Every structure is written in C-alpha cells, then in structure tokens.
C-alpha cells in the first residue's frame, strides 16, 4: 500500500511534540503539508489555511486536525467535503452535536473519522482493561493533576468557552476510565473551581457511579507544582489495580506488572492507518459526554485569578 499523504492542520506544541515524531517514525505516512497561519516547518509545504492546502494538494489523502477545539468542526467538515480522511486531536469537538454531525458526514462519504483519544494507547491500558473484565469493581479513584503553566504556556484559548480548562487534561483520564472499566458510569455531582478572570475551571472534583452504585471519584487540578500526577486506582475483590504515570505503569497491589516508555502517538497513527485502509471510523464520544455533564451539573465556585 502506498503511504498516506497527510496534512497537519495547526502546528502548535502538541503537533510539534507528538504528531510530528509519530508521523516521521511511521513509513505508512508522507507529510506533504502544514496548514497554519503562524507556524511552518522547513522542508514541508506551508499553507496559511486548510482550504489553501486542499486547493494546492490534490493528492492529499488525510488530515490531522490539531487546532484549538472551537475551530475543529468547520475544518473537519471542509476536509470531509473534499474527500479526505480526518484524525481529530482530542477532544474531537467543542460540542457533542458537532461530533455527531461529522460522524454522519463521514459515514455518508465513506470516509474515516477518528476521534483520537491518545491516552488509550498508553502501554498499560489494554492489560488493565483485560484484568478488570468480569471482576467486581468496588471503588475507583482518579487523580489527574498538572501545572498549566508548564503544559499550556500562552494558550489563552484554554480558559475561554470551548477550551475546557482543567478538563483539557482531565478528559484524558476520562478516556482511560471509559476504556478500562467494564461498565458505563454516570456523573452524580461536580464542583468546579473557576478563576475570576476565566470562563473554564482550573480544578474539578467529580463523583460518578455505575448501575451497581460503585463509587468513582475524580480530582482534576491545573495548579499542581512539583511532581505531576496522572493516576487511576481501581479496588476490586482481587486487589487494587493502579494505572499510573498516565498509563505507562500498571501495578496490582503495588507489584509492577508493566512499565514502558510512552508510545501513545505512534499507536494512535497505526490505528488511523488501519481505519483509513478499511474506510471505517472510530468516534467514541463517551469522554466528551462526561465533560459536558460536568458543565451541566457542576456547582461553580470563583477562585483567585489565573496569572501565567
């Protein structure tokens, strides 16, 4: 099979740090263009917009959209209308309605739409899901705390409507929980801490449960300094499973079962190539639905202004 001619839409931090190395390491792709009004890469054709890239590159097969969330629907729609397969960086849209419309359009056009929950490709995820299958889940604790100043410098859009604030990383935790837990779960209450100069929360405490009333608690915080925390602990009748370091380490009752280097984006691009080959889609909105529920049910408390 010839390589997939791929264009990157948006060339900010996540595209440079994660997408670019994964594409370069996969012989199934050829990076043929970058669409970004402000950023470019030497040796790769530059375009000021997605439309310009589509017009200039008839051989383009697919695009990976890495722009801020509120721009993704119109860009993905334009690409699908031009017959291109689409990978959407997480979250796949600013609203559930946007993602549903894109999914319907991709199906009608027989094109691939991939909601790329990269954390699900962390090394310990598949084994964690397998170990938990069929077990009695007694309680779940999720702790996802990082420093916004380190991971999102200058990204003011994250504090505006659609930017999601602390749910930008928190949705990664939710993408893991919805992947490894054997039953669906539902939000029961949420407390959202919103800086006085922002529209989105800097911290969130969430309480979920499933149909068996299993307590599932999540704490997200963008104010963490020092060591960063990306951990999920699941108590079962057979012991405690801990998926930590964002999914890189899997432990059972403190015994390390698996620990590996991060390879989320290489796995993500391998999956996208499979989907494109079969002209099928993978669009799971469960993590985004939980975030939408938090904004719908959450009690908001104003806290100190955020200053980068």
The three-state secondary structure class of 264 is helix
Does residue 283 fall inside a structural domain? no
* pLDDT digits (tens), the chain, 308 positions: 899 999 999 999 899 999 999 999 999 999 999 999 999 999 999 999 999 999 999 999 999 999 989 899 999 999 999 999 999 999 999 999 999 999 999 999 999 999 999 999 999 999 999 999 989 999 999 999 999 999 999 989 999 998 999 999 999 999 999 999 999 999 999 999 999 999 999 999 999 999 999 999 999 999 999 999 999 999 999 999 999 999 999 999 999 999 999 889 999 999 999 999 999 999 999 999 999 999 999 999 999 999 99
Residues 11 and 103 occupy one common structural domain? yes
Task: List Cα–Cα distances, 26 to 72, 82, 115, 238, in angstroms.
Answer: 25, 25, 19, 39
Residues 135 and 243 occupy one common structural domain? yes
Pick the last residue of a domain from 82, 116, 150.
116
Residues 135 and 227 occupy one common structural domain? yes
Does residue 202 fall inside a structural domain? yes
Closest-CA residue to 68 (of 6, 154, 151, 157): 157
Residues 186 and 297 occupy one common structural domain? yes
Q: Which listed residue (13, 51, 84, 90) is catalytic?
A: 90
With contact defined as beta carbons under 8 Å apart, do 136 and 237 qualify?
yes
Residues 73 and 141 occupy one common structural domain? no
> Cα–Cα distance between 289 and 136 in angstroms, integer?
25
Task: List Cα–Cα distances, 228 to 74, 152, 173, 265, in angstroms.
Answer: 34, 14, 14, 20
Pick the last residue of a domain from 116, 144, 171.
116
Does residue 63 fall inside a structural domain? yes
Query: Is 90 among the residues known to form the active site?
Result: yes
CATH number for the domain spanning 125: value is 3.30.360.10
Tokens of 276: 């494109």
With contact defined as beta carbons under 8 Å apart, do 104 and 180 qualify?
no
Strand segments (E) across the chain: 4-9, 29-35, 46-47, 62-65, 85-89, 113-116, 137-145, 185-195, 203-210, 215-221, 229-236, 239-244, 249-252, 255-259, 299-303
What are φ and ψ of residue 2, in 5° steps? -65, 155
Q: The pTM is what?
A: 0.94
In the numeric block, the tokens 């991971």 are attached to 151
Residue 216, domain extent: 121-261+292-303
Peptide bond into 113 cis (omega under 30): no
Q: In what order do the strands lie in the sheet with 4-9?
A: 46-47, 29-35, 4-9, 62-65, 85-89, 113-116
With contact defined as beta carbons under 8 Å apart, do 205 and 195 qualify?
no
């Amino acid at each position: 099979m010839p390589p997939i001619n791929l264009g990157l839409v948006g060339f900010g931090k996540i595209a440079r740090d994660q997408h670019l190395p994964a594409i370069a390491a996969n012989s199934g792709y050829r990076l043929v263009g970058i669409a970004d009004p402000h950023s470019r890469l030497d040796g790769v054709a530059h375009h000021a917009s997605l439309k310009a890239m589509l017009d200039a590159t008839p051989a383009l097969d697919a695009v990976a959209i890495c722009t801020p969330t509120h721009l993704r629907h119109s860009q993905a729609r334009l690409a699908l209308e031009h017959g291109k397969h689409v990978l959407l960086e997480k979250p796949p849209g600013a609203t559930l309605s946007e993602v549903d419309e894109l999914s319907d359009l991709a199906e009608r056009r027989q094109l691939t739409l991939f909601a790329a929950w990269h954390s699900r490709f962390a090394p310990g995820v598949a084994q964690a899901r397998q170990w938990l299958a069929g077990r009695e889940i007694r309680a779940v604790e999720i702790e996802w705390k990082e420093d916004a100043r380190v991971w999102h410098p200058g990204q003011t859009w994250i504090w505006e409507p659609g930017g999601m604030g602390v749910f930008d990383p928190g949705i990664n935790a939710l993408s893991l929980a919805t992947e490894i837990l054997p039953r669906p779960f539902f939000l029961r209450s949420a407390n959202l801490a919103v800086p006085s100069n922002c529209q989105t929360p800097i911290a969130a405490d969430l309480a979920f449960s499933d149909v068996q009333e299993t307590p599932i608690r999540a704490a997200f915080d963008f104010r963490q300094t020092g060591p960063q925390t990306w951990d999920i602990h699941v108590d079962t009748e057979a012991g405690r499973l801990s998926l930590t370091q964002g999914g890189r380490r899997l432990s059972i009752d403190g015994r390390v079962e698996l620990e590996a280097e991060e390879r989320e984006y290489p796995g993500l691009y391998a999956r996208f190539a499979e989907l494109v080959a079969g002209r099928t889609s993978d669009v799971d909105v469960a993590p985004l639905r939980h975030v939408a529920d938090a904004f719908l049910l959450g009690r908001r408390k104003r806290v100190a202004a955020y200053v980068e």
